Amino acid sequence: MKTRIGWRKRRRAAQVSMFLITAALVAAMVSCAATEYEVTFSSTDGGSVTAPGEGTFYYQFCTEVSLLATPDSGYWFVGWSGGGAPIAEVTSASTIITSVEADYSIKANFEIAPGQFGLTTSSTAGGSVTVPGEGTFIYDDGKSVGLVATPASGYQFVNWSGDVGTIVNVNAASTTIAMNGNYSITANFEAIPPGQFGLTISSTAGGSVTAPGEGVFTRDEGAVVNLVATPATGYQFVNWTGNVGTIANVNAASTTITMNGNYSVTANFETISPGQYSLTISSTAGGSVTTPGEGSFARDAGTVVSLVATPATGYEFVNWTGSVGTVGNTNAASTTITMNGDYSIMANFESLAEVNIPDPNLETAIREAIDKPTGPIYASDLAVLTLLDANSRNIADLTGLEYCTSLAYLYLVDNQITSISPLANLTSLTELLLGENQISSISPLANLTNLRKLGLWKNPISNISPLTNLINLEWLLFGDNQISNISPLANLTKLTRLELWT
């Protein structure tokens, strides 16, 4: 407000007006001109006061002050607050203080804009959040945000805590969070215990380390850690780099590292050249693909690639699954695949149950035959056996022989056998000698139609009807039994030798 003091001359007549200036009026005018007021400007998170700025400013009485609040990206201005200052429009980012008449403290208030959410990240002692960093970050609703927690030397990542409902893996140092709301999360670290080492794993563009994952892991000294690098579509694994001295094979996507110290390794990937296709190979527990190996391989279109799956001890190969349309034989451990496209295949294995052979004398005879003096006997050991000579071994129980599915020649003369049930499905048998035992029922022989020679002398056998269908029999040694009816032999037209003495 401005005040004019003095005379005013009217045009119509010579007239003089006089104002009375009192001492009080003079004092007030001097005070107005000399007084300054303190005005402090600040802001909430999400923006700042850009005019006149933030901090404390001094203004003369009655001064008009321009204000401007500028929001950060992802925020919007809400309003001005504080101290009863005469702000023209408190909800406008650009406005004025109409008149400074006292000390004021004024704040510009901001909020996250609609359709966006804030992510506040922090960490405990022993590391930091390196992606996206630490602080508050604004993202569109639904966006998937990468998170990377990096421990300091001597520390290891533990987990993420806070608003972790949409974090893919709270126990992984490298993971993602889906922005479905305003979230605040913390990366937690702890000191690595003595006797353990840290393994830091990362990857280049084009893939990731899927076992044990990416980030920092703690393992006991000397531990052997599995490493699996998985390429993205259109990429292939190249090698491992970094502290690779104890990696079994730096060129294999699936390999191991032995923890003799603190190590940092990187899985490297590259794009597959035009005219080539990617072959990704993996396996279940119990074995591995030894040719060409496991991981991702680039091959020219039309190339025929050899595949060899090798089971571990106590396991057997089952089949190939996945993109098996051009695999030569999905049930063969050694086969081929023709590269007419990008393929991903898996070799499947299953454990072999140890075969129970309760009769120690039979077990001894089998171990001699398969040349395995000690250790478990598996079905795969017995499946390849073609001949077993176990005469005069004092064998009473044939349990376990049912796994000898390739047996062609079986000699069990002069034992203590009463039941031959385990032989019922050994359809590869061509010669079977069971003389001088205690066998009364030969029903299990009914389906052994490949038999050419059969010896059953000196047993308490009375019913030979199960032999009716054994039409390939050439020799039948049946002396010293209790047989009264031989009519079941009428169809055995290939018999050239028949002995039925008493």
Confidence at residue 218, expressed as pLDDT on a 0 to 100 scale:
87
**Residue 451, both tokens:** 């038999």
Closest CA to 214 of 229, 224, 236, 197: 229
Tell me which CATH code domain 360-499 carries.
Answer: 3.80.10.10
Of all helices (H) and strands (E), which one includes residue 278? strand 276-283
**Residue 468, both tokens:** 């009716």
Three-class SS of residue 110? strand
**Cis peptide bond prior to 311, omega within 30° of 0:** no
Q: Sign of dihedral through CA atoms 163, 164, 166, 167?
A: positive
Beta carbons of 268 and 204 less than 8 angstroms apart:
yes
Closest CA to 279 of 329, 330, 227, 237: 237
- In degrees and rounded to multiples of 5, residue 57 shows phi and psi of -125, 155
Asked if the 34-112 domain carries CATH number 3.10.20, the reply is yes
Beta carbons of 347 and 391 less than 8 angstroms apart:
no
d(CA 473, CA 464): 14
d(CA 469, CA 445): 10
Confidence at residue 13, expressed as pLDDT on a 0 to 100 scale:
40
pTM: 0.45
Could you tell me how many residues make up the chain? Answer: 502
Adjacent-strand bridge partners of 94 = 68
Query: Do 116-191 and 34-112 have the same topology in CATH?
Result: yes
Closest CA to 151 of 178, 173, 171, 131: 173
CA angle centred on 110, ends 104 and 115, rounded to 5°: 170
Q: Sign of dihedral through CA atoms 184, 185, 186, 187?
A: negative
- Residue whose pair of structure tokens reads 């000191």 in the numeric block: 191
C-alpha distances (whole Å) from 430 to each of 383, 388, 426, 486, 495 are: 16, 12, 10, 22, 14
Task: Return all residues near 207 (Cβ < 8 A) that are at least 6 apart.
Answer: 229, 230, 231, 232, 235, 237, 267, 269, 296
Confidence at residue 329, expressed as pLDDT on a 0 to 100 scale:
97
CATH topology of domain 116-191: Ubiquitin-like (UB roll) (3.10.20)
- Residue whose pair of structure tokens reads 């830091």 in the numeric block: 200
Confidence at residue 7, expressed as pLDDT on a 0 to 100 scale:
33
The domain spans of the chain are 34-112, 116-191, 275-351, 360-499
Tell me which CATH code domain 275-351 carries.
Answer: 3.10.20
Instruction: Render each residue's pLDDT in the chain as its tens digit; 502 residues.
Output: 333 333 333 334 434 444 455 554 444 444 545 589 999 999 999 899 999 999 999 999 999 999 999 999 888 898 999 878 999 888 888 999 999 999 999 999 998 888 899 999 999 999 999 999 999 999 999 999 999 998 888 888 899 999 999 999 898 888 999 999 999 999 999 988 888 998 989 899 999 999 998 888 889 999 999 999 988 888 888 999 999 999 988 988 889 999 999 898 999 999 988 889 989 898 998 999 999 988 788 899 999 999 999 999 888 899 999 999 999 999 999 999 999 998 999 999 998 878 999 999 999 999 999 999 999 999 889 999 999 999 999 999 999 999 999 999 999 999 999 999 999 999 999 999 999 999 999 999 999 999 999 999 999 999 999 999 999 999 999 889 998 899 999 999 999 999 888 7
Please, how many CA atoms are within 13 Å of residue 379, restricted to the half-sphere of its CB?
A: 10
**Residue 281, both tokens:** 């190979």
d(CA 167, CA 402): 53
Rg (CA), the chain: 45
Helices (H), 311-378: 360-370
C-alpha distances (whole Å) from 2 to each of 29, 32, 61, 62, 348 are: 10, 11, 12, 10, 95
Confidence at residue 346, expressed as pLDDT on a 0 to 100 scale:
95
Closest CA to 107 of 151, 148, 46: 46
Beta carbons of 283 and 309 less than 8 angstroms apart:
yes
d(CA 97, CA 69): 13
| Three-class DSSP labels, 32-71 | HHHCEEEEEEEECCCEEEEECCCEEEEEECCCCEEEEEEE
Beta carbons of 491 and 465 less than 8 angstroms apart:
no
